[in-house]
Chains A and B, each alone.
Chain A
């Protein structure tokens, strides 16, 4: 990883010095070993600070949204999952390909700095960080799917048992059992919208949850309002989630959000597939459920 980090630094310095990008997104070292944080270098001097290590887990494709209204060219580092996020942004017409210089890193699987921070905090004496972040233990695409330059050696996909094992378990439940399962799962939600903000597919300019006239989803932290929030969010993800796992990773109350996304991935695959979101960028291509045709054989309701 040291080698990758040095290459990233050199690439960024070169791009910034030549003026080919006006901003380069990577990571910098925080106070603690695990405290790696997103960092945007604007000069080659800034780029001195760039690092890449086992905690460089954040999906920087999401950070691009801060710059979607600009014209400047931006360089950034992406891992396999993050690169699918770039495809998400391109397909959703949020960014133009020519505004990006993409440094892809074949990802060996990383650690979760949040898990490490919790273990280090003294708040939970029993917490022990896992050697690989949950989102990295099952990874379909560790190698970037879109890039201008590729670093590191190609990695094999990783999996923990059958891909949809947990989804199958829930599908087998009775309606009542399922209701209780989701009630228990979603009740702790504090509606901090961390999952929305961490999501590269959540790129609507005005989010439905911020609409007040009309207010589509209530702001109480009750089971019903929480259900509505997560249901609506989930359905907006159908065919669009790139499985970067950031929503679940950042959740401060540890809701297993990827379970919901997995169900949608499975269903979209089954009904409209084979399809995996963001694996292959073809200009002008649209993901399933994002196209409306007047001669659609089904009614729109």
Chain B
């Protein structure tokens, strides 16, 4: 088994960062996120490989919150597209958790399958290597196993396993092999035993729920469940799978650029139509849509839920709303 000693970790980061933009889990200021290794300031920032996860989901590696698409200029009725920004520079995401990697796989489904591949997404995705870190100690809000994720066998390019003083290094794809080559001088061949997986503390009732939800669209329970929700976008922006975006334009005189940015189904404006009609005017309708999308609609279209059990929304919701409790209540309701 290949082993990367923790003492050689920063040397490995330096070597990888020479070949690609390297994103590592880091606490910078008040929040933690996957951030470029060269921005790491020792003494001020802290690596977060030992923490359960980082606050911000890693989805912006392939779906940035704001992404320029193309630049244009107009002259009379003619519009010329001057530059298309398809980002294809190599990037490595180091230490992503298996739940979050499943999140990336959900985005892949949306942006690359069913007859249309999104060029902006594809060019980022094709050039990004994911090194996932297996999870042996689920946290108090973790329920990835209930959502179909195996916490120690992510299908990423490389999987690493924390052995205490080093990481077992397991390349799984050709991209992963290439990345392994970049630090081959730092890897040692050794025998090692992988740790035992600690049991999950949460039981989640997802099995069979998608089917049941088909009959619950008009159920009064949505009113009660959505009562505490204040309809902000905190859950959607903290979620590794929420992928809704809007396409907007910024123009200055005759020239400008088009960009896309994350959007949130929690916002009233999200469903506002030309002419002023809003099919999801009430808070409970927006709330219901979010949970049905996660638990029913995505399952129907792609055969898996759009919740990966990372637990972030349970931590950050200002009103203490928990998707785990919601699944339970929906399961029990008649």
**Interface on A for B, CB 8 Å cutoff?**
30-32, 35-40, 58, 62-63, 66, 113-114, 117-118, 120-125, 188, 190-194, 196-198, 210, 212, 215, 218-222, 246, 249-250, 252-254
Q: Which residue of A lies closest to B230 (CB)?
A: A197
Q: Does B53 contact A (CB under 8 A)?
A: yes
Q: Does B333 contact A (CB under 8 A)?
A: no
Query: In the complex, which of the residues B227, B230, B283 has the most CB atoms of chain A within 10 Å of its own CB atom?
Result: B230
Chain A nearest CB, measured from B46 CB (Å): 8
Given A121-B311, A252-B234, the answer on whether A194 and B259 have CB atoms closer than 8 Å is no
Chain A residues within an 8 Å CB radius of B230: 62-63, 194, 197-198
Chain B nearest CB, measured from A58 CB (Å): 7
Chain B residues within an 8 Å CB radius of A117: 314-316, 320
Asked if B315 contacts A123 (CB within 8 A), the reply is yes
Chain A residues within an 8 Å CB radius of B140: 32, 120-122
Asked if A194 contacts B325 (CB within 8 A), the reply is no
Proximity string of chain B (231-260) to chain A, C-beta cutoff 8 Å, 1 when within and 0 when not: 111101110000000101010000000010
Asked if A210 contacts B250 (CB within 8 A), the reply is no
A246 to B234, CA, bound (A): 14
A-B contact pairs, 15 of them (CB 8 A): A38-B320, A40-B224, A120-B140, A123-B315, A124-B27, A124-B32, A125-B50, A192-B236, A193-B232, A194-B232, A210-B267, A220-B259, A221-B65, A252-B55, A254-B30
Chain A residues within an 8 Å CB radius of B234: 192, 194, 250, 252
Asked if A220 contacts B66 (CB within 8 A), the reply is yes
Asked if A123 contacts B246 (CB within 8 A), the reply is no
A283 to B174, CA, bound (A): 73
Given A30-B320, A36-B320, A221-B261, the answer on whether A253 and B233 have CB atoms closer than 8 Å is no
Contact partner of A125 (CB less than 8 A), chosen from B51, B55, B264, is B51
Contact partner of A194 (CB less than 8 A), chosen from B32, B272, B318, is B318
Contact partner of B232 (CB less than 8 A), chosen from A31, A63, A196, is A196
Given A123-B315, A252-B55, the answer on whether A38 and B232 have CB atoms closer than 8 Å is no
- Judged by DSSP, the binding face of B is loop
Chain B residues within an 8 Å CB radius of A218: 248, 250
Q: Does B29 contact A (CB under 8 A)?
A: yes
Asked if B228 contacts A122 (CB within 8 A), the reply is no
Chain B residues within an 8 Å CB radius of A63: 227-228, 230
Asked if A113 contacts B141 (CB within 8 A), the reply is no
Chain B residues within an 8 Å CB radius of A40: 224, 227
A212 to B274, CA, bound (A): 11
Q: Which residue of A lies closest to B268 (CB)?
A: A210
A56 to B54, CA, bound (A): 27
Chain B residues within an 8 Å CB radius of A198: 230, 232, 318
Q: Which residue of B lies closest to A121 (CB)?
A: B315
Q: Does B31 contact A (CB under 8 A)?
A: yes
A254 to B32, CA, bound (A): 11
Chain A nearest CB, measured from B56 CB (Å): 8
Q: Which residue of B lies closest to A125 (CB)?
A: B51
Asked if A123 contacts B318 (CB within 8 A), the reply is no
Chain B residues within an 8 Å CB radius of A215: 248
A104 to B283, CA, bound (A): 27
Asked if B52 contacts A212 (CB within 8 A), the reply is no
Query: In the complex, which of the residues B65, B283, B318, B319 has the most CB atoms of chain A within 10 Å of its own CB atom?
Result: B318
Proximity string of chain B (270-288) to chain A, C-beta cutoff 8 Å, 1 when within and 0 when not: 0010000000000100000
Asked if A197 contacts B232 (CB within 8 A), the reply is yes
Asked if A252 contacts B320 (CB within 8 A), the reply is no
Q: Does B322 contact A (CB under 8 A)?
A: yes
Q: Which residue of B lies closest to A246 (CB)?
A: B318
Asked if A193 contacts B65 (CB within 8 A), the reply is no
Given A121-B139, A123-B52, the answer on whether A252 and B319 have CB atoms closer than 8 Å is no
A191 to B141, CA, bound (A): 25
Chain A residues within an 8 Å CB radius of B259: 220
Q: Knowing that A121-B141, A122-B52, A123-B52 touch, tell me 5 more A-B residue pairs with CB under 8 angstroms.
A: A30-B320, A38-B227, A38-B228, A220-B66, A250-B318
The 4 residue pairs across chains A and B that have the minimum distance between CB atoms: A254-B30, A37-B320, A122-B52, A122-B139
Contact partner of B318 (CB less than 8 A), chosen from A32, A219, A249, is A249
Asked if A193 contacts B233 (CB within 8 A), the reply is yes
Given A30-B325, A192-B264, A218-B250, the answer on whether A123 and B232 have CB atoms closer than 8 Å is no
Chain B residues within an 8 Å CB radius of A191: 233
Q: Does B321 contact A (CB under 8 A)?
A: yes
Chain B nearest CB, measured from A219 CB (Å): 5
A250 to B268, CA, bound (A): 19
Asked if A197 contacts B231 (CB within 8 A), the reply is yes
Proximity string of chain B (217-232) to chain A, C-beta cutoff 8 Å, 1 when within and 0 when not: 0000000100110111
Asked if A66 contacts B283 (CB within 8 A), the reply is yes
A35 to B236, CA, bound (A): 20
Chain B nearest CB, measured from A211 CB (Å): 8
Proximity string of chain B (66-107) to chain A, C-beta cutoff 8 Å, 1 when within and 0 when not: 100000000000000000000000000000000000000000
